[in-house]
Amino acid sequence: MKCCLCPAAVLLLLSGIGCVAETLQDTLQSANVPTSQFSAQELAQKITSYAISRGDPFLLAYYTDDGSGLLKPPLHLVRHSRGTHALEQADLRDISAMLQGETPMDCVGSALEIHEHGESIFLFIHGGPSSGCLLILSTELSLKAALSGRDIGLLGSDFVIVRSSEVHFMSVHPLHVGVFDLRQKRLTDVYPVPNDPFRRRFSRLIKPHVSEKWCMEVNAQCDPENFNTDINGEVAVNESANVFGFEAKFDAAGFAAHSEKLVPPQTVAYLFRNRAGVWEHLAFNPQRLRSQFSVSSLAELVAQKPDAAFETAKRQ
């Protein structure tokens, strides 16, 4: 996946991701949004690469299509309350986020997803196959925060779970997950977890099969402690308990073909719980869900017995 790292003034070619051009008036009318509060010039403009939420409130993030084939800031925002008929509009430009906490990346790209929860609006901007920006806005459309990554879950109105962007041209794509505190405006990294015995064990399986010759030929990092990880399935969330979890799938891709054959993929379940501002974690083999917790899936564990899982782990 290519990571888009470019100056804010650079114009981006339309990526083909998002919706084809139509007028703002067409889009509003198809969603049953009154157009009387928009100017004739706004309504006649063609829009492109937009994200839309047709519920209440109606939300729209879009770029103006001037026929050049280029994606040009600003990114226009619209929020319309169907109950009160209140209309909010704003333009966003020159927004950046920090990729993996150290590299600035411009948040210019197709708007892919927009939704509102509690007192915040979450807008995901495409930045490349493995990267993007999560823009967090107030209901008045002012910017609260810009994060490198995308939201993968919400814990009430206090926390958003964020999957961080990755650098596409690296030989491996490790998983990084954080939790952003919406009130404190602070991101806490929660995955990978420190001193993880499952990750250490998988690293030891990879290490004997690393070929320095192959790594040099393809310019691969070949660090057995830094391997491919992806989320297997959905993120399970229990808002009332401040608990979420997911299954992480490890594989040995990126360490030459023979490594992938000799080291089969493994899946590990992870739970995270917020207690007094501290994120606790729990890791276990998902095959032990039935014997250890008397449930058939991680989603069932998170929904029905989130605290019991942590208490069981403490007693062992």
CB 182 within 8 A of CB 120: yes
- pLDDT one-digit tens code per residue, 96-120: 998 866 778 899 899 999 999 999 9
Where along the chain do its domains lie? 1-191, 193-316
How much is the pLDDT for 238?
Answer: 96
Residue numbers of the chain with a pLDDT score lower than 70: 1-21, 100-101, 168-169, 313-316
Tokens of 145: 């925060």
- Give the predicted TM-score (pTM) of the model: 0.88
Amino acid in the structure at residue 152: I
**Two tokens at 143?**
């910017």
